[in-house]
Structure 1
């Protein structure tokens, strides 16, 4: 089915599924980071400072495929940034939900549970460590 699309068309189609941009969004919602680290999450890798994660919101780390949230002051959670519906990277965090731009699935920032489909599985939790003002991959 994709054979007639060609490599350029397929790359464009796959890129379109990612959604979002690499620029930071307004405080209190989400920002995205393209930190130099790439590929799968690696233990010990520094993600951000605690002050970089807005209370009631979160930050998407596209290169690490992780979204870090702060549901309440001082409580930090991390989830896969890959939507469980169709594999797109989530695109924003606002109003207490993580939103996938592909089909508008919404996930709770506190536990990754589905708030609105079409996704029917929660975002998998990821392990982070908060020491002082640093958030690192566990």
Structure 2
């Protein structure tokens, strides 16, 4: 007579465990980044300090961001893009797949080097996985030739 358990025990797959750990890590990383906007960055200079006092952190000049492309600003953990002339967008620079910092902006896409996820420069949406969630948008304000994170 063989006895089998009434409720078989299942072990989660490695992929499930990695995905869960990655989601938890991303949540902590995004929460940790939330307070960063309250402190002026050391690299912003005098114009950045003035903008920070007005409610945001100056991160770039409009001339720094190519039309149809963008620039990764590691000091601020954002990607600023200019999908069309005069329209500026900003997104978290952490890939939503496993939190790797993105490293490229080309051909209308923000790219992650870890697993080649691609995100739209227009709205941060996923163009190619394995990421399934868009890059979180950051509020950006343009005053004159200065781009500020709100």
The TM-score normalised by the length of structure 2 is 0.64
Higher relative contact order (CA 8 A, sep 6+): 1
Aligned: 1:56 with 2:63: no
Aligned: 1:133 with 2:140: no
Contact map agreement 1:35 1:61 (CA 8 A) in 2: no
Q: How does 1:81-120 map to 2 (within 5 A)?
A: 81-120=93-132
Unaligned runs of 5+ in 2: 1-40, 45-51
Separation of aligned partners in 2, 1:35 and 1:121: 31
Deviations 1:15-34 (A, max 9, x none): xxxxxxxxxxxxxxxxxxx9
Provide runs of 4+ in structure 1 moved above 6 Å. none
The CA deviation at 1:130 is: 0.3
The TM-score normalised by the length of structure 1 is 0.69
The CA deviation at 1:35 is: 6.8
Aligned pair count?
A: 101
Q: Which structure: greater helix fraction?
A: 2
- The SS at the match of 1:71 is strand
Q: CA RMSD in A?
A: 1.7
Separation of aligned partners in 2, 1:46 and 1:133: 10
